[in-house]
């Protein structure tokens, strides 16, 4: 140590217990204060590189888990790249494959959320003889019937008599009670949604078993509250009914009310939106969706906008619907309703599941985030569906075809050619549309041509 006197003194100082502890504390403090900062700085460019080299994720099979019944299969659907459209446009057209849900459509998410929320709020209890009522053009009814059976409820579905027969057969196979009525506007008491509300209200009185019960009751949801009507002595104002075991175990009718029910929005804000954000690693330039009740575009659009204020939200709107003009000009209006041509009931179209001529609670939630709208004709929807079968082997329903046609129009309008991600909803498959949308004879009788050049021309 003679050659290094300074080192010797340093070693002697460190050998003292108190000074050694002080020294170690200073060193550890220094490292702790700088390591997180350095680590964060390292991760930022790495995350940026990962985002820039984004690749679509493969389908994730749930081979490592056991899900709980049919409801465990709902959601977490993959994004599928539409190769023909993506390659032709130079962007990534990605479809959320909602037809892979167990009930065959995006409406599985909504039905599950509505039923779970009703159970959570004490409106429904399984295996009590309760019945769920809904007015729908088919897909929501099938989803409700599927989940109702799995959760111990019966289902009554009121629907227009001109929907595809495949939907009716599916509902019957699922054990649902079906009532088919003529198409009518919402102001008509015999419109299918209004009838569903009425049937739910009369459930206890009409049912020969329930009518003898001392506590007949009906429960259904509205946009902002729960309405309960009952002949029991329960004090509803004090919400004592939620603690009355005798009341809660009796059968009741529940009107799901998908058009106004906030659960519709929540299903997509909590599920579809976050899934898309995760699957694209946060790279979504645009989201396109049709709107029937408005829940899908409202919930998904609101979530994506909250994550990225620059994301474009657009809707595809079929003939006969007024949403296009509502977005473009602020007025719910369709050109076929011009003076001298307006009909009492909504214009018939081969596209089912999207399009509406009135404001709903869920549409109200969607409008603040919708940036653009695209009118899709029956001919364009039919052409897109046939184009996808020919080039991609994708057999999709009418609303899915509308959504993809709107994606193409959006990309062409924006002039995008550099790999931007445009995400849409593939609502259901073509197997629910054999009798109308996929029936060439039906289309000819409706004077709707099948012309693939409509798609090819717009892709050029």
Euclidean distance between CA atoms 252 and 236, whole angstroms:
15
Domains 70-101+269-459 and 107-255 agree in fold: yes
Q: What is the CATH number of domain 107-255?
A: 3.40.50.1100
Q: 392: which 2 tokens?
A: 């991609």
pTM of the model: 0.80
Q: What pLDDT does residue 38 have? A: 47
| Among candidate residues 426, 416, 164, the one with its CA nearest the CA of residue 286 | 416
Q: Which ranges of the chain have pLDDT less than 50?
A: 1, 35-54, 56-59, 208-238, 339-347
- The answer regarding whether domain 70-101+269-459 maps to CATH 3.40.50.1100 reads yes
Q: What pLDDT does residue 267 have? A: 97
pLDDT 10s digits, 56-69: 444 455 556 788 89
Q: What pLDDT does residue 375 have? A: 96
> What is the DSSP track for 199-222?
HHHTHHHHSTTGGGSSS-EEEEE-
Q: What pLDDT does residue 340 have? A: 45
DSSP state of 57: P
| 149 Cβ contact partners less than 8 Å away, ≥ 6 residues apart | 155, 174, 175
The ranges assigned to domains in the chain are 70-101+269-459, 107-255
């Amino acid at each position: 140590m003679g050659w290094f006197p300074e080192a010797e003194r340093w070693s002697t100082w460190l050998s003292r217990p108190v000074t050694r502890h002080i020294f170690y504390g200073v060193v550890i403090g220094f490292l702790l204060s700088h390591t997180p900062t350095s680590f964060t700085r390292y991760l930022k460019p790495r995350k940026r590189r990962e985002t820039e080299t984004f690749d679509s994720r493969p389908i994730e099979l749930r081979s490592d888990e056991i899900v709980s019944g049919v409801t465990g299969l709902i959601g977490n659907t993959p994004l599928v790249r539409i190769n023909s459209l993506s390659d032709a446009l130079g962007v990534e057209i990605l479809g959320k494959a909602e037809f892979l849900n167990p009930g065959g459509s995006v409406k599985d998410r909504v039905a599950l959320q509505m039923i779970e929320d009703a159970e959570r709020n004490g409106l429904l209890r399984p295996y009590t003889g309760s019945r769920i009522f809904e007015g729908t053009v088919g897909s929501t009814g099938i989803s409700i019937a599927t989940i109702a059976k799995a959760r111990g409820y019966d289902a009554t579905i009121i629907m227009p008599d001109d929907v595809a027969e495949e939907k009716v057969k599916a509902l019957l196979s699922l054990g649902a009670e079906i009532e088919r009525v003529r198409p009518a506007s919402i102001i008509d008491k015999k419109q299918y949604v209004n009838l569903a509300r009425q049937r739910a209200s009369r459930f206890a009185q009409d049912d020969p078993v329930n009518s003898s019960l001392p506590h007949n009751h009906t429960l259904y949801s509205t946009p902002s509250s729960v309405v309960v009507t009952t002949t029991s002595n329960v004090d509803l104002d004090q919400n004592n009914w939620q603690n009355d075991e005798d009341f809660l175990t009796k059968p009741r009718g529940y009107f799901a009310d998908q058009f106004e029910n906030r659960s519709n929005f929540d299903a997509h804000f909590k599920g579809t939106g976050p899934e898309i954000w995760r699957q694209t690693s946060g790279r979504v330039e645009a989201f396109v969706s049709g709107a029937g009740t408005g829940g899908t575009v409202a919930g998904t659009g609101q979530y994506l906008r909250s994550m990225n204020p620059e994301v474009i939200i657009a809707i595809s709107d079929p003939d006969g619907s007024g949403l296009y003009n509502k977005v473009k000009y602020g007025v719910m209006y369709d050109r076929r309703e011009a003076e001298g041509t307006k009909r009492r009931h909504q214009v018939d179209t081969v596209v089912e599941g999207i399009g509406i001529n009135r404001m709903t609670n869920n549409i109200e939630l969607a409008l603040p985030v919708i940036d653009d709208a695209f009118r899709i004709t029956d001919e364009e929807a039919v052409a897109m569906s046939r184009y996808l079968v020919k080039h991609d082997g994708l057999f999709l329903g009418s609303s899915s075809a509308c959504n993809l046609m709107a994606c193409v129009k959006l990309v062409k309008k924006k002039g995008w050619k550099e790999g931007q991600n445009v995400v849409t909803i593939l609502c259901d498959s073509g197997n629910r549309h054999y009798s109308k949308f996929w029936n060439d004879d039906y289309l000819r009788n409706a004077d709707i041509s099948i012309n693939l050049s409509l798609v090819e021309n717009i892709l050029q």
